[in-house]
Chains A and B, each alone.
Chain A
Amino acid sequence: MAGLAVAARRKSWAGTAVYGGTAAACGVIALWAAVALAGRSAPVALTLPMGIPWIGAHLRADGLSAFFLLVVGFGGVTASLFGWGYERAHAHGHAAASGPVLPFFPLFLAGMSLVLLADDAFTFLVSWEFMSLASWLLVLSTHRESETPDAARLYLVMASAGTACLLLAFGLLAGGLGDYRFDAIRAHAPQGGAAALTVLLVMLGAGSKAGLVPLHVWLPLAHPAAPSHVSALMSGVMTKVAVYALVRVLFDLLGEPVWWWGGALMAAGSATAVMGVLYALMQDDVKRLLACSTIENIGVIVIALGLALVFKASHTPVIAALALSAALLHVVNHSLFKSLLFYVAGAVLTATGSRDLNRLGGLIHRMPTTAFLALVGAAAISALPPLNGFVGEWLLFQAILNAPALPEWSLKIGIAVVGAAVALAAALAAACFVRFYGIAFLGRPRSAEAERAGEVGSAMRIGMVVPAVLCVVLGVLPTPLIRLFEPAVRAMVDAGPFDDRAYQPWIWLSPTSAIGNSYNGLVLLAVIAALSVVLVLVIHRRASDRVRWSTAWGCGHEEPDPLAVSQYSASSFAQPIRRVFGGTVFAARDRVEMPEPGDTRPARLTVTWTDPAWAFLFTPLRRAVDWLTRQADVLQFLTIRSYLTLMFAALVLVLILVAVVRP
């Protein structure tokens, strides 16, 4: 298909063919995965005669793979649909159409699917790197924009470092036996120190792909740089592949866990969740804001994974199943609403040509459908009931509330702190998306482009409607989905979330060990709908008929200010939170430059902030690497005799080693 895309790049039907093909392929994958999950079918294994000679490539689809394939396949379908409309809109809208996307888009999807299917370390790593490189090339497709090259370079470095960590981790997993099939690894999982090192390496390797703090620095740069449907895939789906890697290694390959693995995951997840949403609050760029919010959601998922691991280690599998279900549910949820929101950002970009919040505004009148779908997405990601984000976090909190069942005191107290962090992150996320929605869609246009914006085409709208509808449906009726992926949960922690309940009505969500709590989306929906109707009626009865007086001076919202630059801006919305958190965490400073009376210069407010991950980790690291390379540079300018001497010394040293250290 990629070959076809290359061949037909210049033809007008190429986009239709490629996106049609990927949509069909992903649809088949998703459908197959759903059927396999629903039918509780046994794992399917396949050995392909390619790859390393005499070893081949082992593929296997069990419940976990099928579940993540469902996520990837569904994301692929909507991304293909949206991408088709997006590229057509951009082909005659902008001169620099993203032509080089076509060949790599199917490759990227294929890479992600192969990672999920891999059943030996070679296949896994090769597909992983394949996925990274394909997405890297997709990021580079917008290479004409000024920030893309830097973003792409950073992404390449982070991706290579992550793969290197995974490579070492799989080396440790296989141990001295050198058998890299997952079956063999399962049978001879490393113990003790080797296992601990493996856990840390996998957290580094998969964490750098998923965006765990402090390895998140590439996400806000690379995800927005790609075309919007690719951003949606990278942010909504590729990070889930990294989550899959975490689950596969920590729950499946490593065997019996130790409690502190989960503790480490939860600590990293809490930091990621809080920091991610704080980053998101500081961003003015729509897509960058969404990428930062991905960091937060990954944090939430990783916290849930950590909880599951802790409960699995303390032999309470039913609670572990609850936590793992929360994690997997949030995986689905985040892939849905983050794809939706990236599509919205793409639609806004198509309509206005801008990603800067401060140049948007008032789009609710110009793009009503997009605005409504954005509202659904924003409400879902802010975890408002009765949407799917709420169900995921509700399940997570049920698991957190079970912490007193654990034997370790440090965990009992620590998980309370983690719960507070999740609550803080959820509240800040709500603030973040109020800001996103309010600045972009409400108010009055802040630029001429926003003033002229119009609704996007039907393909893009359908691409957005599908995930939005699913956000609502999963929020109201989450139980069938949790039932659907129960085999995956059962395979990982040997228990299901509903194990000691005799009877489960499908409209109720009342998992075991939720301390008697239960959730019914339908009732909630009915209550919210009724209250909303009442509220609307009251407002109309009480307020709409009143005579309203407008102030004489207009406060900037009347005719003299057509672009309404004096209304609340993205930066002003973020200011309170920047003041509270930014001063310590980001070293944020507001500097007001007020001209003297009589001076005609405009007053200026300058906001500066730095990312602590750059300041304390990556900048020193880069300096160290620079220093090392400068030291090693000497080697390039030696004489021939010195090179010969070095080689000779190395040879003699090795020979002496062999002679001395003989077994």
Chain B
Amino acid sequence: MDFGYDAAHLLGTLVLLTSFALLYQRRLFALLNVFTVQALALSAAAAWQGYAHDEPHLYITALLTLTLKAIAIPVALHRIVRRLNIHRTVEPALGIGLTMLAGVSLVTLSILLVLPVTENATALTREDLALSLSVVLLGLLMMIARRNAVSQVVGFMSIENGLILAAVGVAGMPLVVEMSIAFSVMVAFIIFGIFLFQIRERFDTLDLRRIERFRGESD
């Protein structure tokens, strides 16, 4: 029990740590690599939970995460970045230090929020919920703290990672829900990809500051 708890805790914390790492990446490839690491950690967390609690369907979750998030999406994003020849640095809208500070306060907030609510739950569930809520909030923060469309896609995916982390930590989430989440993320990713190509083709940039100028309403 003790070892199982520690390992699960370690893997969950690893996911959170990679979320922080995502926040301060300045280069697109590094960003994608960190995202791959996060997906690997998540898939390991799911597999470990499946093993520790003897729930075979979590292996499927782990497999899905591994193939989709750790392999397919990063590879596709790499190819997009290469083919579009995107300027490979990410311009932060918010300073790195400030973003990290905001991230730390978000984690504090989610711990303050989750721990008192779930007093009757097991320690693992409580920690897992706090961690996953932090990952979700950090993903949102990443979406608004970066000016690049690719990094927004990555932020969105990491929000979804947080959801999966919550799902594997709390026993009883049906497989169907996880599957549907996974596939909806896949669909979202395809749409994002198409949009990125289209945006690039039309505006010659993926920098949101330039794109905003092209909106129909504002001049």
Query: Interface on A for B, CB 8 Å cutoff?
Result: 636-637, 639-641, 644-645, 647-648, 651-652, 655-656, 658-659, 662
Contact = CB atoms under 8 A, between A and B. Distances in A.
Contact of A651 (B112, B116, B140, B208): B140
Interface of A is mostly: helix
Contact of B137 (A637, A641, A652, A662): A652
B85 interface: no
B144 A648 contact: yes
10 contacts: A636-B217, A637-B218, A639-B208, A640-B212, A641-B144, A652-B106, A652-B109, A652-B137, A662-B116, A662-B117
B212 A645 contact: no
B125 interface: no
B129 interface: no
Nearest to A643: B144
Contact of B141 (A636, A641, A648, A655): A648
A641 B140 CA distance: 11
Contacts, number: 36
B140 A655 contact: no
Closest 6 CB pairs of A and B: A639-B212, A659-B113, A644-B144, A645-B144, A659-B112, A648-B140
Contacts of B212: 639-640
A644 B217 contact: no
B93 interface: yes
Interface string B207-219: 0100010010110
Interface in B106-137: 106, 109-110, 112-113, 116-117, 137
A649 to B, nearest CB: 9
Interface in B68-111: 93, 106, 109-110
Contacts of A659: 109, 112-113
B93 A641 contact: yes
A193 B213 CA distance: 53
Interface string B44-71: 0000000000000000000000000000
Interface of B: 93, 106, 109-110, 112-113, 116-117, 137, 140-141, 143-144, 147, 208, 212, 215, 217-218
Contacts of A647: 140
Contacts of B106: 652
B111 to A, nearest CB: 10
Interface of B is mostly: helix
A636 B141 CA distance: 22
Contact of A658 (B113, B137, B141, B144): B113
Given A648-B141, A648-B144, A652-B106, A641 B113 contact: no
Contacts of A645: 144
Given A648-B140, A648-B144, A659-B112, 19 more contacts: A639-B208, A639-B215, A640-B208, A640-B212, A641-B93, A641-B144, A641-B147, A641-B208, A644-B140, A644-B144, A647-B140, A648-B141, A648-B143, A651-B137, A651-B140, A652-B109, A652-B137, A658-B113, A662-B116
A636 B218 CA distance: 10
Looking at A637, A651, A659, which has the most chain B CB atoms within 10 Å of its CB? A659
Nearest to B113: A659
Contact of A656 (B109, B116, B144, B218): B109
A270 B196 CA distance: 68
A651 B110 CA distance: 12
Contacts of A651: 137, 140
A655 B110 CA distance: 8
Contact of A644 (B109, B116, B143): B143
A645 B146 CA distance: 11
A658 B113 CA distance: 7
Contacts of B93: 641
Nearest to A645: B144
A652 to B, nearest CB: 7
A22 B117 CA distance: 59
Contacts of B143: 644, 648
A357 to B, nearest CB: 51
Contacts of A656: 109
Contacts of B217: 636-637
Contacts of A662: 116-117
A636 to B, nearest CB: 7
A662 B110 CA distance: 14
B139 to A, nearest CB: 10
B109 A655 contact: yes
B136 to A, nearest CB: 9
A658 B109 CA distance: 10
Nearest to B111: A659
A636 B113 CA distance: 32
Contacts of A652: 106, 109, 137
Contacts of A648: 140-141, 143-144
A252 to B, nearest CB: 43
A621 B116 CA distance: 46
